[in-house]
Amino acid sequence: MNNFLKRTLTAGAFVAVLLGCTYYNQLSFSVLFFCITIIGVWEFYTLSEKGENKPQKVIGTIVSASVFTTTAYVCMGYDAHLLIINIPLVFLIFISELYTKSKNPFRNIAFTILGIIYVAVPFSLLNYLVTFTGSYNHELLFGFFFILWCNDSGAYLAGSAFGKHKLFPRVSPGKSWEGSVGGAIASFIVVFIISKWYTDFSITDWVVIASILIVIGTLGDLVESLFKRSKNVKDSGTLLPGHGGILDRFDSLLMATPFVFTYLYLSQYFHQL
């Protein structure tokens, strides 16, 4: 099987599962992204191990699973006090390091907690976004996906055709300013279309969300590239043949989600004043 066919089949299966589980109901969405969170955190810790770092992979993954699960339960209508469980779990990471006899204990602690913050927290926040309107609604997350995918595709096509001025050559030599502009144009075209379909959010909200996804999403891509470059690897994993790992597929979303979450909740707060 040639590489192009492998990439196409992988992308098709990935998109079908992602959109299907997100569309079906809240439980299928939560189960899918629970698995994605676990795999993503494990990928992060595996990459972090390259060098002298020894993150606590098992405990970090357990804490990440707890963060996502308790957040999902709260968004399903359970008591928000469930989230308190995660506080002592995080501090168990410090206690556990006492027994590792590592030369760099606090570096290990830092990388363990970083995996939770960088991967588990953004994926967990998606639970709030799909229930932001008061009940489970796939539309916001579908909008996320469509905007990000069009931004990536537009950036690739425009960069391939017109790219001359490098965006951030030290981290990602292939990205150009021309590609970024092309991606932004494609994204805003999609925003105009989806704002007609997904009317729970105003056109202003969609424009702001798209702007965040374009700018912060691009920076998120660069952050993940910086991390991989520091570890001298091309892909974060091998789960998706021809496409890399979970971190490779969700790098933009991971960085942009906290910003969109903050915007929506602040917007809601000020509208209620």
What local confidence, expressed as pLDDT, does residue 4 receive?
65
- Report how far residue 44's alpha carbon sits from residue 22's, in angstroms, rounded to the nearest whole number: 24
* pLDDT tens digits, 74-90: 999 888 888 999 999 99
Q: Which tokens hold the place of 84?
A: 């308190």
What local confidence, expressed as pLDDT, does residue 9 receive?
84
- Report how far residue 58's alpha carbon sits from residue 92's, in angstroms, rounded to the nearest whole number: 12
Place of tokens 């760099």: 104
- Report how far residue 179's alpha carbon sits from residue 10's, in angstroms, rounded to the nearest whole number: 24
State the pTM of this model.
0.93
Q: Which DSSP helix (H) or strand (E) runs through 168?
A: strand 166-168
Q: Which residue, among 15, 228, 217, 17, has the nearest Cα to 122 in the 3D structure? A: 217
Q: Tell me the CB-side half-sphere exposure of residue 261, using CA atoms within 13 A.
A: 17
Q: Which tokens hold the place of 158?
A: 């425009």
255 contacts 122 by C-beta, under 8 angstroms = yes
What local confidence, expressed as pLDDT, does residue 238 receive?
78
- Report how far residue 129's alpha carbon sits from residue 265's, in angstroms, rounded to the nearest whole number: 10
Instruction: Provide the 8-state DSSP code for 185.
Output: H
Alpha-carbon distance values, 97 to 90, 100, 117, 129 (Å): 12, 5, 19, 35
Residues facing 240 on adjacent strands? 244
Place of tokens 């953004």: 122
Phi, psi of 130 (to 5 degrees): -80, -10
Q: Which tokens hold the place of 200?
A: 């729970």
- Report how far residue 61's alpha carbon sits from residue 81's, in angstroms, rounded to the nearest whole number: 21
What local confidence, expressed as pLDDT, does residue 164 receive?
87
- Report how far residue 12's alpha carbon sits from residue 18's, in angstroms, rounded to the nearest whole number: 10
In the chain, which stretches have pLDDT less than 70?
1-4
Instruction: Provide the 8-state DSSP code for 151.
Output: H
41 contacts 61 by C-beta, under 8 angstroms = yes
